[in-house]
Amino acid sequence: MLCAAAVLFALGSKPCLAAPGAELKISSGPDTEFSESQNIELYVPAGESPSPRIRPGSFEATWSGFINVDLRSDYLFAVACNGKFQLEINGKSALENTGGNETAGDN
């Protein structure tokens, strides 16, 4: 069960990774794990652990990274989650879910 998640992206700002992609930070109490990915996805069945180093139960997953966009256009960001979710682009909230089972999308 995903209890809290935040996705932070910066378009055209200083990247935190060497290439487009995301760094995932999973935290639960004092336990924290980091990993890198080209995709932002996480599926954790109820009662399971999000990672071998994190205990089952409530946790927070935070992705930080950047995407490289060559052309101006409309882009669709979507999420399906159980818990809280917030997508920030250039420091502004672009998509938010405050709890429960939700599917959301926005340009």
What are 2-60's pLDDT values in tens digits?
A: 333 444 443 333 444 556 778 889 999 899 999 987 778 888 888 899 988 898 988 88
Predicted local distance difference test score (pLDDT) of residue 84: 82
**What is the number of helices (H) and of strands (E) in the chain?**
0, 8
Q: Are 8 and 61 in contact (CB under 8 A)?
A: no
- Burial class, 104, CB count within 10 angstroms (exposed 0-12 / middle 13-18 / buried 19+): middle
pLDDT attached to residue 25? 92
